[in-house]
């Protein structure tokens, strides 16, 4: 999609920092020795973790924007939807990162854990988009049933 291509034209330095900072705090909450080595890199125990654009799920967010668009939305409704969606994606991504790291610490390879749990979250989001927003319509209007005013 064009929106994902546009997304990858930016470095997302601040978002990569915030994502890595949240992962760092999560590791510390688990009682793990963790520290920062760069704006997008942390060390947890003896494991070096580097956060790329795809680790932030900003590509998933941008890919979802055209699918969230509804001509019946007023601008504020659409803005509210995409802001809530961004916050939910960020939270889900932090859960994914924590689960990936715990699976890695239990002996699963990092690449396998990252692909498995990242893929599951991508699949869950696309399922939600296709069923909840595209399929579920409010019988009184053209708006999705999940968003009413």
8 Å CB contact between 144 and 137: yes
What is the enclosing helix (H) or strand (E) of 102? helix 75-105
For 2-35, write each residue's pLDDT tens digit.
989 999 999 999 999 999 999 899 888 888 889 9
Does the pTM surpass 0.75? The reply is yes
CA distance 132 to 130: 6
Are the C-beta atoms of residues 53 and 12 closer than 8 Å to each other?
yes
Confirm if 8 and 52 have CB atoms less than 8 A apart.
no
Per-domain residue ranges of the chain = 2-133
Question: Helix, strand, or coil here: 81?
Answer: helix
């Amino acid at each position: 999609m064009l929106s994902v291509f546009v997304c990858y034209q930016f470095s997302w330095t601040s978002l990569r920092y915030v994502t890595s900072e949240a992962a760092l705090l999560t590791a510390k909450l688990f009682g793990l020795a963790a520290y920062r080595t760069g704006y997008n890199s942390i060390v947890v125990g003896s494991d070096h973790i580097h956060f790329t654009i795809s680790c932030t799920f900003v590509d998933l967010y941008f890919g979802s924007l055209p699918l969230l668009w509804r001509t019946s939305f007023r601008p504020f409704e659409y803005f509210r939807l995409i802001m809530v969606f961004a916050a939910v994606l960020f939270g889900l991504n932090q859960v994914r990162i924590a689960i990936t790291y715990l699976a890695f610490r239990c002996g699963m390879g990092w690449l396998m854990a990252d692909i498995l749990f990242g893929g599951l979250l991508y699949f869950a989001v696309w399922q939600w988009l296709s069923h909840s927003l595209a399929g579920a319509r409010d019988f009184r209007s053209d708006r999705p049933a999940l968003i009413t005013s």
